Amino acid sequence: MLSIELQISLVLFFSLAGYLLSSRINQSAVVGIIIIGIIIGPSLLSIVKYSDAIEMLAHLGAIMLLFAIGLEFRIRDIYQLKYALIALAGIVVPWGAGYFLGYLFGYPFNVSMIIGVSLTATSIAITAKVLEEMKKLTAPASRAIIGAAVIDDVLGLLAMSIAVQSAKGDIAFTEIFITVMKAAVFLTAGIFAAPHIKKLFVKLDEKRLAREFPHFLFMTAIMFCFLYASIAEVIGLSAIVGAFLSGAALEGVKFKNSKDLKEGAEYLHVIFGAIFFISLGILANLRDLTFGMSAFFAALIIVAVLTKVIGCGITAKMAGFSRSESLVIGFGMSPRGEVAMIVALIGLTSKIISQEIYVAIVLMSLITTILTPVFIRKLKW
């Protein structure tokens, strides 16, 4: 067992190699880092083991990443009707198509439900990172993707709890209703609290404390981030939804005495985000994919990309976006990232799906994640 220091050093070393690779193949840093992750993981070289410590740091990395991304987004933008419509299409179309795919390949009702649900989520982390690197985070299409992806994440996790509860044979409508209500209360409270939190930060910045300890407000912000993340987890959402919300609540805050939040969040997420992305690569063991699964696997990937491109893209076009913007939105909604992996993991541990379907979903999630930056960068918009 390597010491934690050496593990971190190795992961950062290979992340740097990922940067180099990205620069050479002219791709987003995320793609390079994930590919390096696959190479050093059990799929090929088995150099780095995915230890509990690295898993925890990767989890913290995802939280810091979403916090940093949240800092770039105005909270009002997320709750526009057109984003809600795009998000809804991005849930219904993949869910239905995924279920139908499972049905075609002869899987039972519960398994097909999990396959469908795993296709609903959208991982904002990867697309947002690519958009950030392209310096297009504030473009209308980018805002639509992030806004709709946040809604999708929330709705996708709700869909998962419904699917798991139904698989257990007891669809407790009251429980589902309570989860939905808690989520609604949390998100609404977060939106209404945002301007007050911003005011509080600006007020604190003028106190002696901020002059004495210029990092005081940065630490307060990170404390908020982890508080929101833990609240999100408690009420059954993904922790990163909370982290994103806390970041969005502090968007645009400027200080006179205190250190800049965005700058600090960037330093944190560069280090821990790299650990997160390399973990995604290490986790995907290509050797687990059996030959017998190849037809299902190929179909799953095609369905995964097409349902988001068609579902979200057409809705975006109808909502007034241009043809190329709609395509960007469709492809931008395609990466399933860690959210689908979590759905697959819960399906596996609840004994609803088998090991091979689990691997197929994880790899589908990874491949859509790798393909997305390629498509988004290739499109002219």
Binding site for a second copy (CB under 8 A): 2-6, 8-9, 12-13, 15-16, 19-20, 23, 29, 53, 56, 59-60, 63, 208-209, 212-213, 215-216, 218-220, 222-224, 226-227, 229-230, 233-234, 239, 242, 259, 263-264, 266-268, 270-271, 274
CA–CA distance, 188 with 120 (Å, rounded to integer)? 23
Shortest distance in whole angstroms from residue 109 CB to a second copy: 33
Q: Which is nearer to a second copy, 203 or 215 (CB)?
A: 215
Burial class (CB in 10 A: 0-12, 13-18, 19+), 130: buried
Q: Which is nearer to a second copy, 133 or 175 (CB)?
A: 133
62 residue type, one letter: A
Q: Which is nearer to a second copy, 36 or 86 (CB)?
A: 36
Taken as a whole, the chain contains a residue count of: 381
Tokens of 266: 């960037």
Q: What secondary structure letter does DSSP report for 259?
A: P
Q: Which is nearer to a second copy, 270 or 374 (CB)?
A: 270
Q: Which is nearer to a second copy, 266 or 356 (CB)?
A: 266
Q: Which residues contact 3 (CB under 8 A, 6 or more apart)?
A: none
Torsion of CA 52, 218, 153, 306, to 10 degrees: -90
Q: What secondary structure letter does DSSP report for 44?
A: T
Nearest to 338 by CA among 66, 39, 44: 66
Shortest distance in whole angstroms from residue 185 CB to a second copy: 19
Shortest distance in whole angstroms from residue 214 CB to a second copy: 9
113 residue type, one letter: M
Q: Which is nearer to a second copy, 53 or 197 (CB)?
A: 53
Shortest distance in whole angstroms from residue 20 CB to a second copy: 7
Q: Which is nearer to a second copy, 167 or 268 (CB)?
A: 268
CA–CA distance, 226 with 203 (Å, rounded to integer)? 22
321: left (phi over 0), alpha (psi -120 to 50) or beta: beta
Nearest to 204 by CA among 216, 193, 194, 195: 216
Shortest distance in whole angstroms from residue 145 CB to a second copy: 23
Shortest distance in whole angstroms from residue 46 CB to a second copy: 20
Place of tokens 């968007």: 251
Shortest distance in whole angstroms from residue 257 CB to a second copy: 14
State how far the alpha carbon of 107 is from the alpha carbons of 49, 97, 102, 111, 346, in Å.
Answer: 33, 14, 5, 6, 18
Helix axes 140-167, 81-104, angle to 10 degrees: 50
Shortest distance in whole angstroms from residue 228 CB to a second copy: 9
Shortest distance in whole angstroms from residue 202 CB to a second copy: 17
CA–CA distance, 69 with 71 (Å, rounded to integer)? 5
Q: Which is nearer to a second copy, 93 or 240 (CB)?
A: 240
Could you give phi then psi for residue 339, rounded to 5 degrees?
-70, -45
Q: Which is nearer to a second copy, 237 or 363 (CB)?
A: 237
